[in-house]
Structure 1
């Protein structure tokens, strides 16, 4: 969301040419509507400069001045920022029907992605169909249990890679290793194949998409510039999306041919399930919806999972006592030398607490996915106007001193014996969102996170690279499509005794 100085200067110079359009698009505020309070704005650019390089932190600070429901004008867009548990619950649950549509970034109009994407579609018949398929056929326990052998093999490959570096005494880029593993975990769940092979371009393709989507885009703040695409983000994303969709077409065609071969043995993967639904016409979906669903799952499931794992490992190495507690629990529950299984996770409360604490401090999407109000809604005496973009600052909620003791400290023990979870029922911890648009891939993401982290902690000891002490660790974050570590986290695996 950070707009570079060059873009700001350019916008200021074009003030005379767009001021008339600005007034038309922004409109005037009716006298009877009381917008939430907010900071003073500049002509044309509004409050864009207030965002800075780390909007989640900047807006959390502004919320302490203006309140937990706050309005800003970002270019031509009225934006409402929510920074408290109680108001988040009103937006995501009480008034969910008024806030269940999305504010779609301009770049994601590439290849009409917004017309087929479960993430970006409005609450419509098509969206409800995709949601039903996800909840009833793809992410249900039975289907995920049936495909866990595929994920087990990918985690074992990760451990083999770590072991090779362990013998060589080399540090591992945890985020990069987790990114490749997450890609293969998802691709095997979808297609029963590896797509993040070092020799393929797929890993870099997904990475490039993450980079483009995470860039601040002038066209998102000034809709009049959408057709111009001044930064070329949509043009580049059109190329990347085209390559991804072409790959999915080839995977679908190959599977359809295999299904025609006599004696074909069906797989337990997602593609098989979706093709069965399409051919049996049990739900109204077609090939376009399937291709864009795959695009959603790769884009939403890789960077988020790998970044969370990287943050978890970094926090544990900065807090050796928590690391020791986690390894002791794994040893007592699973036993030395035994592999971790997905079915073991329910018996590992401290590991679960580590994941919750990591998601509290470092939510992958600090503002969730932007919502858009479909009508004027009154909340706490203020009016959220129709078509306003609504951001829920879950990063700020996760560090709210009114909700959490010592909120900036990594303390997994706070969740031991607690019923608070990440499934959208407890609005003090909603890294996956809440209401009807909660992330549908949550069950798979939770399995992947716990399995990868538990396996890395159980198989190896870990030490920091270059003689760095826990006190010297760089724990700065960087805002993008996900909340990343500012610098890659390197750690050296050590054989366990």
Structure 2
């Protein structure tokens, strides 16, 4: 196990069971973190790897669309489907519990001396969620270790294999060596990054489109024009859908999943814009406020994807008025994959269905209030009626 990370850097919900000690997202910068970052980027999140899993993502989207169609038609679900749905919902609840989406702000983040007392029981409450999730992820890791020990040759080499290769490297020594617990935490963290953040962004996106029917129609028209109605939208279509790309940027601008990004600590005394920032100062970046700053955006509270059609502003951390994924060496490593998933899912939902609100709810009255924990979800979950487009 590597040297302990200073707990002040980590949200209380992620200090339970020493989760923060094996984390990429909240880990302290050093040899261990650089090793994990390298493995994650070269073995999992490079374009070659992402492109290799296109078929898997398409299958998941196809299953989602089919599930919605069956649900809309009130088809009777068989036992397997019901068990699968229940298991997925249970895991999602566990992840939500860890992220603290009950809306409580962590007082320890603003008054560090309170972290040790855990006055809101955030760390103790999240421990029960993390324990179960680590048990699930740990089971996957143990099964793969047994598989590797059996000597059966695999046709593919995936992210988990790359982590286990390092764990099994007897030449690797010292605090930056990966352990089975570290690998379990990293695997779980990749799952965190692909569930809560993606699903929340899509929910915000559908809410914004339903609140702005003109934008919904423009998006559907673009997909019909570029892709047509005779085939499904696929990942290779995404770069040919500028209004879709603009729509997703506008969703990320108004509804960043991590409104305060993740907290960081200064590694040394720093002077910035005339301010002295002492070493070990915890720093919060208020992306939510930056994205709504009237000094950077015209009519900042309005949902207007058109603002990005003739703009070179992007979400990759080079334009500081739009930072949903952070910036610099601590940019979210799942940026490319996450953006693809949001674009593909949103385009598929809009292409396959016409969406409407429950009777009596007007678009302008749709509740858009926010529930903020470590992540930002809708206070009132979106409920809509899908009608398959023929």
Q: TM-score interval w.r.t. the shorter chain? A: 0.7 to 0.9
Distance 2:171 2:324 in 1: 32
**CA distance change for structure 1 residues 395 and 347 in 2, over 3 Å: closer, same or farther?**
same
1:253 equivalent in structure 2? 142
Deviation at 1:268, TM superposition (A): 5.5
Aligned mate of 2:130, from 241, 244, 249: 241
Residue 392, structure 1, aligned to residue 281, structure 2: no
Structure-2 residue corresponding to 1:453: 346
Q: What is the match of residue 495 of structure 1?
A: 388
The question of whether the paired residues in 2 share the 8 Å contact of 1:143 and 1:268 is answered with no
Larger radius of gyration: 1
Give the conservation status (yes or no) of the 8 Å contact 2:369–2:380.
yes
Deviation per CA, 1:265-306, whole angstroms, max 9, x where unpaired? 334643233334444679743323211112322333322211
Which residue, out of 103, 107, 111, partners 2:9? 103
Instruction: Look up the match of 1:20.
Output: none
Matched residues in 1 for 2:14 and 2:217: separation? 43
Equivalent residue runs for 1:106-255 within 5 Å:
106-168=12-74, 197-199=85-87, 201-211=90-100, 215-255=104-144
Bigger shift: residues 475-484 or 348-357: 475-484
Contact 2:102 2:372 survives alignment (8 Å): no
CA distance in 1, matches of 2:109, 2:292: 28
| Alpha-carbon distance in structure 2 between the residues aligned to 1:419 and 1:167 | 43
Q: Are positions 1:292 and 2:179 aligned together?
A: no
Unmatched tracts of structure 2, length 5 or more: 1-6, 76-82
Alignment-derived partner of residue 250 in structure 2? 357
Measured in 1, the distance between the counterparts of 2:92 and 2:28 equals: 30
Q: Distance in 2 between matches of 1:362 and 1:202?
A: 24
Deviation at 1:258, TM superposition (A): 2.7
Aligned match of 1:266: 155
Paired residue total: 372
Closer, same or farther: CA 281–150 of 1 in aligned 2, 3 Å: farther
Residues in 2 aligned to 1:161 and 1:323: alpha-carbon distance in whole angstroms: 22
Separation of aligned partners in 2, 1:277 and 1:268:
13
Render the CA deviation track for 1:305-340: whole Å, top value 9, x for unaligned.
Answer: 111111111111111111111111111222213122
- Cα distance in 2 between the residues matched to 1:262 and 1:379: 55
Asked whether the 8 Å contact 2:100–2:122 carries over to 1, the reply is no
TM-score by structure 2 length?
A: 0.88
Aligned equivalents of 1:262, 1:386: Cα separation in 2: 50
Q: Does 1:425 align with 2:331?
A: no
Q: 1:466 is paired with a residue of what secondary structure?
A: coil
